[in-house]
Structure 1
């Protein structure tokens, strides 16, 4: 094999390298990507024309002419034809294994306003899926159930009386169930609300609507009936991983790994079988109803942070509160409507401030970073307090969703090194839809949802993510919304950082990926249009035409 060693002695600040160094290049293992518009997300060298990849690493970033001088004829050349190149996207909050599982047997329309129009679909699914122990559906709107003049429980019992039914609302924060499902969960009319959840009742009787963790408890029972199937593994291989590659996503944080259902073992099997085509960090789910000491012991035993593996189990996912449209996001003030006739009407806590602090104290030292769901201003405030009181500030903790944040808490993100993780790909986060929340939380809170500009103006580290499948996983939808959602909009450069280098930071891999620099791993994408020059309202039409992961092309359009 012919080895050509080229010593590139470049002065400080040159286009191709930020410091003087020698690069040893083996031509037969090289690929030259040239004639591109390469946005590196490297502040010292933001733009380039060419990159040289050796095996799985970037060994050169600079101009076409400099790249030519470093090569001979044996190299593989890829002409980018002027296309835009970006680092591979990070999505640090999605639910890939849940998306890939094929347990859902029917889907309802979240825009349907009449509960009776759901019933024929459910009945047909029950007749077609006779071999399943549970009938599992997805997609309805809780408002359709809440406004029903008939009991949602009795309607389900009438059409499916003999086996359990559970239907997940489109946000996953409530479930619609029949009596068989309630029976298997030991929920009765006299049952107390579980931690982080509400058993909805009418005149003291269960009505079939389970809010937040009450629904999740039953859903986990339903999912356990499918444990011996390969649906999660197959769904990842056949659907999720190809979709990630198609959308240019090369790093992911799984935002809820149900370890009691052995989902982490499915992930480990995927890694062992070398099926993974992205870098994954798992966020182990902290079960709200669990005994804290026993759960913490179990979580400690699952920690895994092998630097050479594409799979790391190094994050904890827990919820501070619920969501706004269920009136379970934790507020400092009461909601303007009362769905549950509770003594307090300012939302709920899955984990209290003190419990969050306990988990941080016990698990941060093991190496876990925390991924904390916090939507209401009280939920955000309490989560920040917990980090301030329990963390050593060497953490990479983040709060996700951050829909309502008090101005005095915004500066605390920066002070405590907390990352704000926001999802703006969903239509509901656009300013034109904010008024829909006025009847629930009032004008002041409703008119400043997901304040990403306020956060970046305060120099808070911001990541942008999808919460797939609540919203589309397409990063270009999120980027367009981030730069156009005036008055809470940010620059294009900040939006790209939110999907690249900032995501790499919270996954503890900013020295390996997240920007295109000499010495980093070759994760990058080529897209069909230059999002820096087109109108901002066309960014969401951008298509990935090539995805390179770890030096290998995993998608080409």
Structure 2
């Protein structure tokens, strides 16, 4: 059998530990049929074989984004994207400017992105400030973390029911409406879903895109694919319409990537319902590239909003009694894990603080002891921003997978968590080096929620940020942090660690390592030819690396120019 294509004379990084480097790779159909040194694939060349001289260009395996939100991003296609400013005065001037550019007649509901939590501190923003700019139409400004938002009075009134209760949907059920000492809503809301403003939509008789429209989600997918992302896991699949969109795209040959769906379980009591949905979707929508076998669960909230689960009392709590909160106890989570293991369904858990992390580890340990050799599911802990040193080694011991959002490593969320965790603990966050040294499996992702931040989904942006601990767009104050490096400096990751996380480790966690994640004979020909040698690029220049050619399952892909400005 002759090869359809041979890539020769290259620096091919295979991510195969047995042979990390090669000079040639041959492809027949969708699969790799030969990988080796100079001349290794010569006998597979025939009259119809396409020969591509790489001219010593670097080739890496197709990349995998371990946790992002494509339809959530798609829902924001109508949002007003504004520059971010830390100073309140400049922020308000910017909001006013964009309000004037987008009048009520054109934009009946002004949904703007965004603001920094640090601008307003622990008390949060106030509706009165927005009322001055938006006296007669609803307005919402999104915290750039997407875990909080800021409404004006018109919007708050539209969100009230007949009894005065305020209803805003949230991934965790209902959003938290912050109130002042008199019980009056301040305008600040925690964990409000970007599409949770049903009362507003009904009041103005207008509804935004659902995010499941192909023309809304395609720009984001095209951007990821243009960077060499060939597989994503959805942070949580937003309903059957969403999975149907990906199914239709794949069936009609437009998806050109793997899509791993997840089913949201809002609380432990919904375990049976989530299992049923996994089974239903899997039966209806599984394809060669679409798989549904994972439940998503939120164990705590965010460190910046003070709704995470901490081993120590929050720094700003004088009583020493506020340790934050979790959505499940150790016993409840253990029970869920046992049910999922009986069904062979994996779980992906949002966890940001050390008490929630320890509780998850304890639950896994409990479930594994009960199941013994029957234990077989994969447990992924996503984010894991603060981990107690005693729990680092447990990741490898328990076979847990870690998913880390690489572009957060430079301090994307600023200093707001210091208010709750204290500076000592804040300066130990986002450190996975010991977990990796102990043999733990760490993969990487973008965890994006809006088109306003979509360009941070560039994996080379994430790699640079994780290698330098300096945010490319939003560096920390150099006067306080030398070189704008987000502590701790020793938490910087290496290029090899990052490439392994974006390829083999993510493929392993998604149970796809027999197909993708490395350049090996028998696997799919998912290949990226880079514009420069990433291994010889300064860590502060990694973002300038980009694909020159992309092959998905042996087929050369169009690299589309996508801009979100």
Q: TM-score, normalised by structure 2?
A: 0.82
Match status 1:489 vs 2:492: yes
Cα separation, 2, equivalents of 1:492 and 1:217:
37
Structure 1 residue 230, shift from structure 2 partner: 7.2
Of 509, 515, 518, the match for 2:518: 515
Higher relative contact order (CA 8 A, sep 6+): 2
Give the conservation status (yes or no) of the 8 Å contact 1:87–1:523: yes
Structure 1 residue 316, shift from structure 2 partner: 1.9
Count of residues paired in the alignment: 522
Equivalent residue number for residue 536 of structure 1:
539
SS of 2:439's equivalent?
coil
Give the conservation status (yes or no) of the 8 Å contact 1:318–1:372: yes
Structure 1 residue 209, shift from structure 2 partner: 0.8
RMSD over aligned CA atoms reads 3.4
C-alpha distance after superposition, 1:52-91 (max 9, x if no partner):
1001100010123121233223211111110000000011
Cα separation, 2, equivalents of 1:484 and 1:518:
34
Match status 1:466 vs 2:450: no
Give the conservation status (yes or no) of the 8 Å contact 2:344–2:376: no
Structure 1 residue 428, shift from structure 2 partner: 3.7
Match status 1:501 vs 2:504: yes
Equivalent residue number for residue 144 of structure 1:
119
Structure 1 residue 509, shift from structure 2 partner: 0.3
SS of 2:433's equivalent?
helix
* Larger CA deviation: 89-98 vs 464-473: 464-473
Give the conservation status (yes or no) of the 8 Å contact 2:26–2:35: yes
Cα separation, 2, equivalents of 1:456 and 1:90:
19
Structure 1 residue 109, shift from structure 2 partner: 3.7
Gaps of 5+ in 1: 1-24
Cα separation, 2, equivalents of 1:541 and 1:228:
33
Structure 1 residue 190, shift from structure 2 partner: 6.9
Gaps of 5+ in 2: 470-488, 561-565
Cα separation, 1, equivalents of 2:539 and 2:67:
24
Match status 1:451 vs 2:427: no
C-alpha distance after superposition, 1:356-402 (max 9, x if no partner):
43443333443432111111111211222233334654122211111
Structure 1 residue 303, shift from structure 2 partner: 3.6
Match status 1:323 vs 2:302: yes
C-alpha distance after superposition, 1:285-341 (max 9, x if no partner):
233598665555445433459775211222222211111221222211222225xx9
Structure 1 residue 405, shift from structure 2 partner: 0.5
SS of 2:518's equivalent?
coil
Cα separation, 2, equivalents of 1:198 and 1:487:
37
Closer, same or farther: CA 320–220 of 1 in aligned 2, 3 Å: farther
C-alpha distance after superposition, 1:380-431 (max 9, x if no partner):
112222333346541222111111101221121112211111123236448x
Give the conservation status (yes or no) of the 8 Å contact 1:395–1:417: no
SS of 2:35's equivalent?
strand
Cα separation, 2, equivalents of 1:125 and 1:359:
50
Cα separation, 2, equivalents of 1:336 and 1:464:
30
SS of 2:235's equivalent?
strand
Match status 1:256 vs 2:240: no
Structure 1 residue 163, shift from structure 2 partner: 5.1
Cα separation, 2, equivalents of 1:336 and 1:283:
35
Closer, same or farther: CA 441–305 of 1 in aligned 2, 3 Å: farther
Cα separation, 1, equivalents of 2:15 and 2:336:
35
* Larger CA deviation: 499-508 vs 161-170: 161-170
Of 240, 264, 273, the match for 2:220: 240
